[in-house]
Amino acid sequence: MEKMLLSLFLIGSLLQVSLVAQQQTGARVSRVLIKAGRLVDVRAGRVLQNQGILIENDRILRVGPLAEIERAASQDARVIDLSHTTVMPGLSDCHVHILLQGDVTSADYDEQLLRESIPYRAIRATVSVRNALMNGFTAMRDLGTEGAMYADVDVKTAIARGVIPGPRMFVSTRAFSGTGMYPLLGYSWELTMPEGVQIVDGVENIRRAVREEVKYGADWIKFYADRRYYVKAGVLHSWVNFTDEEMKAFVEEAHRLGHRVASHAMGREGIDAALRAGVDSIEHGYGLDEELIDRMVRQGTYWCPTIYTGVYVAEGRAREGRPIYLTMRDMEARIFGVAVRKGVKVAFGTDAGAFPWTENAAREFAYMVRYGMTPMQAIQSATVTASELLDMTDDMGAIEAGKFADIVAVANDPLQDITELERVRFVMKGGQVFRDELSH
């Protein structure tokens, strides 16, 4: 009996020692003080001078005048001196394809689906997400694996677990289209070719497919609303891929499961149908007009215009016999400023992957400013507006207490020269520095 009591006492003592050790380990915190010479307050649309950002582990603890934050910082806080730079929240690209490496022509697309295995494409994606992070993109929404099944979920998981560096990922796995309405097309009927999307027809099949994608890790649902674009009387038209009932099934089922819906919609008919269905974001939207814009404003629908990819691929696609892409590029240039003036919620999105990941997606900013945004509005599109679209306003989108310490910096003032965002030289994500060519 005495031996049993002694054993129980020893076990209890060991458990107590273990608990104290865990508590002590948990009590240890890492603090970082960033001295920001110029801090972009995206919420108020202003620039603050000589600010301090106090970070504890992966979150921002306090933000304010430098002298005040220095007093609040502990003696052992690590100091990062960015007093000669412009500091802002990490950027978000809300339309990418990490499993693609350039899609200027149809042959480029077919080559990847036919000759590259999914594991190989996933390996290449790990390089793509690292490039994006080093360019200042601390979050990305991937809108379709283009035949690579659920590999975006695996890349997202590897990033989240610290296996590879990359942005915070919000993924849609396999985008949806209908039978005969998405590549690979044009091959012999005797061959069973891979599909760039998940093919689904009919309301009940759509509901089941949405559930399946959520089961396998999709954060967003994405479907292709239209195809076969053509211009008539100065308007970009398209063929719609699904009936109204089918499109509503995508939206209703996704919303029922707590997920949002993005729709690839190029021509007027596709945009019109997607808006009737109640999607959360319109992707590309080259055929927008004032009536559709007004509806987007009323419904609170976001727009990811993906300007840079339209510019990048237009000439290549024209050379292969699709000159309409040149027309679409010019149409978007004309309507973008109208959408901004009328108050459409424009979220930064580039379609990276349609152009190679060796290109810096931040080139989108210059086109947004050229087409009608102020530099501050362009920055807000990739920060606070993007966080709203991603339903992450409590965690991302601004340098504020309680949010993730996702912070980037550039040497000069991007409000004077927006192309400065193509030269991000300091990147912190979750309190961890991934790039630093600026601090003293």
Could you tell me if 221 and 336 lie in one domain?
Answer: yes
| Residue 21 in this model has a pLDDT that exceeds 80 | no
Rg (CA), the chain: 24
Residue 417 included in any domain: yes
Preceding amide of 184 cis, omega within 30: yes
86-103 pLDDT, tens digit per residue, is: 999 999 999 999 999 998
Residue indicated by tokens 């999709």: 218
Report how many domains make up the chain.
2
Contacts of 62 (CB under 8 A, 6+ apart): 52, 53, 54, 69, 72, 401
Backbone angles phi, psi at 355, to 5 degrees: -105, 155
29-38 pLDDT, tens digit per residue, is: 799 999 999 9
Residue 23 included in any domain: no
Q: Write a three-state SS string for 376-411.
A: HHHHHHCCHHHHHHCCCCCCCCCCCCCCECCEEEEC
Burial of 202 (0-12, 13-18, 19+ CB in 10 A): middle
| Residue 319 in this model has a pLDDT that exceeds 90 | no
- Bridge partners of 260, per DSSP, are 220
CATH code, domain with 264: 3.20.20.140
129-175 pLDDT, tens digit per residue, is: 999 999 999 999 999 999 999 999 999 999 999 999 999 999 999 99
Backbone angles phi, psi at 167, to 5 degrees: -70, 170
User: Looking at this protein, which amino acid is placed at residue 146?
Assistant: E
Domain residues for 35? 31-89+399-436
Residue 2 included in any domain: no
In the prediction, which pLDDT does 75 show? 85
Residue indicated by tokens 């000589």: 50
- pLDDT category at 27 given cuts 50, 70, 90 is low
220-265 pLDDT, tens digit per residue, is: 999 999 999 999 999 999 999 999 999 999 999 999 999 999 999 9
Mean pLDDT of 105-119: 94
| Residue 16 in this model has a pLDDT that exceeds 60 | no
Could you tell me if 340 and 385 lie in one domain?
Answer: yes
Could you tell me if 373 and 258 lie in one domain?
Answer: yes
Mean pLDDT of 53-58: 98
Could you tell me if 235 and 143 lie in one domain?
Answer: yes
- pLDDT category at 43 given cuts 50, 70, 90 is very high
| Residue 9 in this model has a pLDDT that exceeds 60 | no
Q: What is the C-alpha separation between 411 and 86, in angstroms, rounded?
A: 6
Could you tell me if 103 and 236 lie in one domain?
Answer: yes
Residue 12 included in any domain: no
Could you tell me if 181 and 262 lie in one domain?
Answer: yes
CATH code, domain with 70: 2.30.40.10
- pLDDT category at 70 given cuts 50, 70, 90 is very high
Residue 4 included in any domain: no
